[in-house]
Amino acid sequence: MTAGAPTAVASAHATNGEAPPPTPFTKEEDLHAYREMLLIRRFEEKAGQLYGMGHIGGFCHLYIGQEAVVVGMQMAIAEGDQVITAYREHGHMLATGMDPKGVMAELTGRKGGYSRGKGGSMHMFSKTKAFYGGHGIVGAQVPLGAGLAFANKYRGDGKVSLTYFGEGAANQGQVYETFNMASLWKLPVIFIIENNRYAMGTAVERSAALSEEMYARGAAFGIPGEQVDGMDVRAVRAAGEKAAAHARSGEGPYVLEMKTYRYRGHSMSDPAKYRTREEVTQTREERDPIERVRVRLMRDHDMSEDELKGMDKTIRATVNESAEFAQNDPEPDPSELWTDVTVEA
């Protein structure tokens, strides 16, 4: 507890804002998490490769290292709950069930991309999968996500909005305008701070006051918060279930601070000189979210190395297929320049 944090939220993070130890996963759950996380990792590795080959342009922000956050949260929510985030969103899209081919083809700017080649890496959407973007302005997705929650409450449909943002965006003024209204109006929204430690090149200690307690950022508004090991998919799911139940029951928003780490640079053009190679290596070796599940699958669930390799092979095939599609799909027709500016009334 921070000194001066209101007692009203004390019960929500009684153990220093840390979530209770997660219940173990069944074999099926671990398999599901493994498959989903591995798909994101392999997809992102391929995207990085295609970027290096010049097939993907502009900015490209990879999610490698953070996979457990979005996969654990998807395991915690119900069908129809919405997801919205910023521009590091390839993982979120795959986790909501969007087609890797459509995502990869958008990265290459092709007509088969989710935005028909007009959005690119940072701007993709799928109403059918309740994925609301894909937003390029740091922090802008936070009020937008609360707006989705506003619609849920207005309709009384019981849905919850999962609004993701980084620890860097957590310093934006509009985040606190949104916290205020979301709490005031008891909107069903979970604010998920993906604290990957670096806002581009600025370490969280250098940009955020009380950087060790980002989960308490909603405290002044009476929003409970928890700090979660974002590299442990079980911890994420457990915290997500608790937060979703809270939001769905009409008690209002919830903050989850996911302590996570991105292995790659901020974007493909970031040499990441602001941290040591040792720091990255150590995190990969000791905290990798996928490796942790892999160990459990073999140790606790009797999976063999070969079985896991087989899964990896299948996933690589899916990703290769998406890359193949993304390179061969035609570019959008020139007439597309002028479409979708406004809806014809």
Partner 1 sequence: MPTDILMPALSPTMEEGTLAKWLVAEGDDISSGDVIAEIETDKATMEVEAVDEGKLGKILIAAGTENVPVNTPIATILEDGEDASAAPVSAKAPEVAAPAETISATQTASTATTAPAAIIAPDTSVPEGTTMISTTVREALRDAMAEEMRADDNVFLMGEEVAEYQGAYKISQGLLEEFGDRRVIDTPITEHGFAGIGTGAAFAGLKPIVEFMTWNFAMQAIDHIINSAAKTLYMSGGQMGCPIVFRGANGAAARVAAQHSQCYSAWYAHVPGLKVVAPYTAADAKGLLKAAIRDPNPVLVLENEILYGQSFDVPEMDDWTVPIGKAKVVREGDDVTIVSFSRGMTYALEAASRLADEGINAEVIDLRSLRPLDTATVIESVKKTNRLVTVEEAWPICSIGSEICQQVTAQAFDYLDAPPTKVSGADVPMPYAANLEKLALPSAEDVIAAVKQVSYKN
Instruction: Give the residues lining the site for partner 1 (CB under 8 A).
Output: 82, 84, 113-119, 123-127, 132-137, 140, 142-152, 154, 173-174, 177-178, 180-181, 184, 339-343, 345
Nearer to partner 1, 151 or 298 (CB): 151
Pairing of strands 254-259, 225-229: parallel
Q: Provide the residue type at 125 as one letter.
A: F
Nearer to partner 1, 125 or 261 (CB): 125
Nearer to partner 1, 155 or 273 (CB): 155
- Give the nearest distance from C-beta 96 to partner 1 in angstroms: 14
At residue 218, what are phi and psi to the nearest 5 degrees? -95, 0
Nearer to partner 1, 149 or 231 (CB): 149
**Residue listed under structure tokens 């035609």:** 330
- Give the nearest distance from C-beta 250 to partner 1 in angstroms: 14
DSSP structural state of residue 251:
I
Give CA–CA dist 319/9, Å, rounded.
44
Question: Rounded to 5, what percent of the chain is helix, strand, coil?
Answer: 50, 10, 40
- Give the nearest distance from C-beta 93 to partner 1 in angstroms: 12
Nearer to partner 1, 174 or 202 (CB): 174
Give CA–CA dist 265/270, Å, rounded.
5
Q: Provide the residue type at 189 as one letter.
A: V
- Give the nearest distance from C-beta 221 to partner 1 in angstroms: 11
At residue 286, what are phi and psi to the nearest 5 degrees? -100, -25
- Give the nearest distance from C-beta 312 to partner 1 in angstroms: 32
Nearest to 228 by CA among 198, 192, 257, 197: 257
List all residues 6 or more positions away from 237 whose beta carbon is below 8 Å from its beta carbon.
22, 25, 72, 73, 75, 76
Q: How many CB atoms lie within 10 A of CB 201?
A: 14
Nearer to partner 1, 1 or 181 (CB): 181
Nearer to partner 1, 54 or 173 (CB): 173
- Give the nearest distance from C-beta 110 to partner 1 in angstroms: 11
Alpha carbon distances (Å) from 335 to 147, 156, 219, 328? 33, 41, 50, 20
- Give the nearest distance from C-beta 169 to partner 1 in angstroms: 13
Give CA–CA dist 41/211, Å, rounded.
28
